Amino acid sequence: MFNVGDKVVYPMHGAGVIESIEEKAILDERQSYYIIKMPGEVKVMVPTAKAEEIGVRNIIDKSSAEKVIEVLEQESTEMSMNWNKRYRDNMEKMKTGNIYEVADIVRNLSFKQKEKGLSTGEKKMLLNAKQILVSELVLAEQKDLSEIESLVENKINASYAEHISTLEQSTAEENIVKKFIPLN
């Protein structure tokens, strides 16, 4: 059970604050709802009885936020070459509400966007994943939106630069081997 003022995450939408708990009759059924204020002045009503089943959870603490940021600094994880399968796999990760999975999606799709570009669906997914990630980090780190957005972008850019450097070095080493050891 959550309380008014709790900072929570609603999967697929991001982090918000429970403004109130209200009883409402919808389709002739009375039940209690959490009224959650999300970023951008959006309010979401979640039945209190199904909140945990739906995946509503408390936001991460400050030490977990640091670990999430570390995910952005890591090498990308393997993804399917097929954009459709990659999209489905990432959508399943998003639905879990696991912030580490969301950070993984942000990093991987950001790398993919820098390398080859993304389909329209994946661009939308990247924007949504970033919004979810940033909204939770804003509340966990108690910093403003622009500061967290810059932090996320800087971590991804630094990680990508390291990734490219590693790829270029690996390619150069392969070319040297091929030059001296014919592979016919």
Spatial distance between the Cα atoms of 106 and 13, rounded to a whole number of angstroms: 15
Spatial distance between the Cα atoms of 32 and 12, rounded to a whole number of angstroms: 22
pLDDT digits (tens, 9 = 90+) for 37-86: 998 889 999 999 999 999 999 999 999 999 999 999 998 888 888 888 99
Instruction: Give the CATH class of 62-177.
Output: mainly alpha
CATH of domain 7-58: 2.40.10.170
Closest residue by Cα to residue 130 from 104, 112, 95, 91 = 104
Q: What is the DSSP string of the chain?
A: ---TT-EEEETTTEEEEEEEEEEEEETTEEEEEEEEEEGGGEEEEEEGGGHHHHT-EEPP-HHHHHHHHHHHHSPPPP--SSHHHHHHHHHHHHHHT-HHHHHHHHHHHHHHHHHT---HHHHHHHHHHHHHHHHHHHHHHT--HHHHHHHHHHHHHHHHHHHHHHHHHHHHHHHHHHHHS---
pLDDT tens, residue order, the chain (184 aa): 899 999 999 988 899 999 999 999 988 899 999 999 998 889 999 999 999 999 999 999 999 999 999 999 998 888 888 888 999 999 999 998 899 999 999 999 999 999 988 999 999 999 999 999 999 999 999 999 999 999 999 999 999 998 888 767 666 555 555 555 555 5
Domain with CATH 2.40.10.170 in the chain: 7-58
Domain with CATH 1.20.58.1290 in the chain: 62-177
Q: Is the pTM of this model over 0.75?
A: yes
